[in-house]
Chain A
């Protein structure tokens, strides 16, 4: 039996291979069948986020107002504070956009989560290496402005008038030259400090945040097929259509809400800033406590 069994299996495969298929007929069959029947579309519909964000955003504003006062009134020339509060404020504004424009169940909402994660990791990373990297706070600003210089240089090369573009080149140029003339600014096209976000996340103990969320949201920012499939294509349940996908041109499909993740990452940002500068307990505990309620609900 031991000898016979493999022989039977091999023969079966050989016989199948020898079978003559009418490929031309199969093609015509499916083509005709497929156009004779309609798509049977189904969509993924997640419940629209209807959470009341008012109090949370108000409390968050209070915290950011305190941090802003700390910079403006206590240490107006502190580069470290400027960089950290600048990054945090950018995160706050992204979150504000999610709320104001109801982006909870949208593609753009995922972009916001990605930025919040990246900003959080970057803040932690900068603080973790500040002792090893002299002038890190001004270097970080110059690195970002250097990227803008590259944009300006490309614009000049094109010699085009782009008046209706969303990029205001004159304004960008003025930002590049805001504090130093642009000739003295390096254009560094690599990652800041030559470390990818993944390595930075590793370095600051946020590997899980990176692995579970950042890569997923990056797919959305880069328009990778996974994100396209999930967000912009509908499934057809008609077997004669080979279960193909169909563009969701009427925006019938939505995505799961980003709100809880936004709140969770913003909470991490606040706790981190508290560890560096101290946020009054009555402000911090209220906003964190209120943030926790969303998870319970």
Chain B
């Protein structure tokens, strides 16, 4: 696609979006932020077909990564550096159009205030991404485009949740009726499954599941379930993780995008659920790319690169053909993507980072 009309349109849309965000930033303290969310949703809604057409024509060969499963990219903290290391094109799943669903369902003033601050940060971050890095990063509303039936996803997620238990006849009604405390839940779990259930990024997996669950509930202080029992909270938390992971897998495989996930919890659930789709070679490839990018995020030492301008950083990666070299080395280490260990990936990545930025 030498002179892509569609890509030019997408670039035009980025500029229009930038103008809208700048306009919004100026008003953000004076107007109700529902109005802001509404403006953004209307903007993306009017562009949805164009964006969908663009994403529908992405192929695995294009090697596109999407930043998703988080709020905003945070370019002030150099988070865009590790993001662009793998892949040829990079998209940020616009966090701003995700907020409307949350805002509509939440009445807690404290939570809404946190959300307001998130919106402000996201607006600022988006402005910076488009105005500074639009040649290498696009912002598009993946959430708005995904058209699978939410009912189907809900049902699938509840089934996945029920799969955690050893009782064969269990269903959601029975779960809510019979299980009240976290002890009830843990007793019914399949043996050994606890180690796959994680709640928090920094938690110690050596701790028991009950302890980790309780710490997480205290830490998060989720307003919607404050009055509910622990069994309900357990379902609520896991449901959130599972639905997010399933959504990311389905959405990314629909558009042939590799998810760039920073959060360990999100990453772990995506990889765990993704194994159910390994018979689809495209999904397997996408999730392998996801794994590589997550490991890069984990090992990337921002302090070392803060002195390098983003443009130079980007050019170095291009010149060195970082992505191609990493894959070449991975192929040299192992026959297939199934057999490579995380330690081997880390070694390959460190070696290539070193080679790429030595001179």
Contacts and interface: CB of A to CB of B under 8 A. Distances in A.
A280 B1 contact: yes
A274 B1 contact: yes
B61 A278 contact: no
Given A73-B49, A73-B53, A278 B59 contact: no
Q: Interface size bucket, A side?
A: 10 to 19
A278 B1 contact: yes
B2 A275 contact: yes
B63 to A, nearest CB: 12
Interface string B20-51: 00000000000000000000000000000110
B48 to A, nearest CB: 9
A279 interface: yes
A73 B48 CA distance: 9
A70 interface: yes
A66 B57 CA distance: 9
Interface string A53-82: 000000000000010011011110000000
B6 A274 contact: no
B38 to A, nearest CB: 23
Contact of A274 (B2, B49, B50, B61): B2
A69 B53 contact: yes
A278 to B, nearest CB: 3
Interface residues of B, number: 15
Given A66-B57, A282-B61, A283-B57, A73 B5 contact: no
Q: For the complex, would chain B's binding face be called helix, strand, loop or mixed by DSSP majority?
A: helix
Contacts of A75: 9
Interface string A251-291: 00000000000000000000000111111111110000000
A74 B57 contact: no
Contact of A278 (B7, B49, B52, B53): B7
B3 interface: yes
Contacts of A66: 53, 57
A279 B1 contact: yes
Nearest to B8: A278
Contacts of A69: 49, 53
B2 A280 contact: no
Contacts of A278: 1-7
Nearest to B49: A73
Contacts of B6: 70, 74, 277-278
A233 B205 CA distance: 89
Interface string A110-129: 00000000000000000000
Interface string B305-330: 00000000000000000000000000
Nearest to B58: A280
B64 to A, nearest CB: 13
B9 to A, nearest CB: 5
Contacts of A279: 1
A277 B57 CA distance: 14
A66 to B, nearest CB: 7
Contact of B57 (A72, A275, A280): A280
Contacts of A275: 2-3
A277 to B, nearest CB: 4
A276 B57 CA distance: 18
Nearest to B52: A73
Nearest to A81: B5
Nearest to B60: A282
Nearest to B3: A278
A108 B251 CA distance: 47
A73 B53 CA distance: 8
A277 B5 contact: yes
A293 B61 CA distance: 23
Contacts of B53: 66, 69-70, 73-74
A25 B146 CA distance: 91
B84 to A, nearest CB: 21
Nearest to A72: B49
Nearest to A284: B1
Nearest to A277: B5
A284 B5 CA distance: 15
A137 to B, nearest CB: 15
Interface of B: 1-7, 9, 49-50, 52-53, 57, 59, 61
Given A70-B6, A74-B49, 5 more contacts: A66-B53, A275-B2, A278-B6, A280-B1, A284-B1
Interface of A: 66, 69-70, 72-75, 274-284
12 contacts: A66-B57, A69-B53, A73-B53, A74-B5, A74-B9, A74-B49, A275-B3, A276-B3, A278-B7, A280-B59, A282-B57, A283-B57
**Nearest 5 CB-CB pairings of A with B:** A278-B4, A73-B49, A278-B1, A277-B5, A280-B57
